[in-house]
Amino acid sequence: MVTLNRIYTRTGDEGSTSLGDGERRPKFDLRIAAYGTVDETNSAIGLARCSVRTEAPAIDLMLERIQNDLFDLGADLCTPDRGVDLGYEPLRIVEAQVERLEAEIDALNASLTPLKSFVLPAGSQGAAGLHLARTICRRAERLVVELSLTENEQVGVAALKYINRLSDFLFVAARAVSALSGGDVLWTPGKNR
């Protein structure tokens, strides 16, 4: 259970913050940037949900679950697995969360027409919001992958899979929302030459 009695602690005033295991790191640290960008993804999803809620209520419910998962992912990334007993069981992304995303991608994609061009991040407000969340998610994924390849840093396999599948989900969800309002806005190569 999380209890937040005070919002500011002054412990970060000198430019560092604590990981879940208590280790202090500079606020520009790659691990902090990775889970901070996961948080940014979550916020973008929240903004997209304001429109998706009425455009596609079933997708909104999926996004609500995903927002909770992203807090799980942030907790996972915030507490590196160094194989030491922390006195508690740290929260980790598990394969079942990845599998649920895959099932939802497949279900949404089943009714969509195959693409013959790239999709412009447009369409309805909800679709555009999901495309924005997708691009932020891809940035988060690049940071998480970089972190996983950094010496003495650990990232769980399920966490890597989850962030990769999430951007796929957001793309398919944006297409599904667009389908409700006329379909994808497609890129026309060289259209304005």
Question: Of residues 148 and 14, which shows the higher confidence score?
Answer: 148
- Residue 15: pLDDT band (50, 70, 90) is confident
Select from 1.20.1200.10, 3.30.1960.10, 3.40.50.850, 3.40.250.10 the CATH code of 26-78+93-179: 1.20.1200.10
Per cent of the chain over pLDDT 90 is 71
pLDDT tens digit string along 102-131?
999 999 999 999 988 899 898 889 999 999
Structure tokens, 120:
């412009």
Strand pairing partners for 25?
Answer: 17
Classified as helix, coil or strand, 100 is helix
- Tell me which residue of 75, 55, 51 sits closest to 132, measured CA to CA: 51
pLDDT tens digit string along 62-86?
999 999 999 999 999 999 988 888 8
